[in-house]
Amino acid sequence: MRRVIAQGTFDILHPGHVHYLSDAAAMGDELHVIIARGENVTHKPSPILDDRQRRDMVAALDVVDEAHLGHADDIFVPIEEISPDVIVLGYDQHHDEDGIKAALEARDIDCEVARATPREPDYDDELLSSGRIIERIVERRC
């Protein structure tokens, strides 16, 4: 049984998220997804949706076995609990693969780190970004 971890904010789901999670699921047998706590999302505007709502929507996807709320202070706590064989980073996530590998080794966690592939829009107006969907809502409804 090869356990895989994917993670992210997942504020307002779109086909790019489904692609990332399907890619991650294909790298093993059981996909666990860690949902970033809103308070820890500091590299872009805070998510619109509550932590629990984002977790529940990700959990409802067929490719996902379990969705977990992330830890507030230490990202390695859920990883130790899940004990994955591979952590799959998103194609555009800023995390440094070597830095994560070193931190895993320092904690005696034996786990690979891989990267998912990107998905391009299938048609001109397909929105593959939660931020772009929110901008569209503001443009059209405000």
Ligand X SMILES: Nc1ncnc2c1ncn2[C@@H]1O[C@H](COP(=O)(O)OP(=O)(O)OP(=O)(O)O)[C@@H](O)[C@H]1O
Ligand Y SMILES: Cc1cc2nc3c(=O)[nH]c(=O)nc-3n(C[C@H](O)[C@H](O)[C@H](O)COP(=O)(O)O)c2cc1C
Q: How far is the CB of 77 from ligand Y (least distance, A)?
A: 7
Residue sitting closest to ligand Y (CB): 70
- The residues of the shown chain that bind ligand X, judged by CB under 6 A, are 8-11, 16-17, 19-20, 44, 90-93, 116, 118-119, 128-131
CA distances from 4 to 12, 34, 131, 138 (A): 23, 11, 26, 36
Is 7 near ligand Y (CB under 6 A)?
yes
User: In DSSP terms, which residues pair with 32 in a beta bridge?
Assistant: 5, 66
The item of ligand Y, ligand X, none sharing an interface with residue 22, based on CB under 5 to 8 Å by kind, is: none
With beta carbons less than 8 A apart as the criterion, state whether 101 and 85 touch.
no
Whether the Cβ atoms of residue 79 and residue 87 lie closer than 8 Å to each other? yes
Which ranges of 43-122 would DSSP assign to H, the alpha helix?
51-59, 76-82, 97-106
State which of positions 99-138 bind ligand Y (CB under 6 A): 100
Question: Is 16 assigned to a binding site?
Answer: yes
Residue 22 near residue 91 (C-beta atoms within 8 A): no
Which of ligand Y, ligand X, none lies near 3, with the C-beta cut-off 5 to 8 A by kind? none
Residue numbering of the annotated binding site for ATP: 9-10, 14-17, 92
The residue ranges that bind ligand Y (CB under 6 A) are 7-9, 34, 36-37, 40-41, 70-71, 75, 78, 87, 89-90, 93, 95, 100
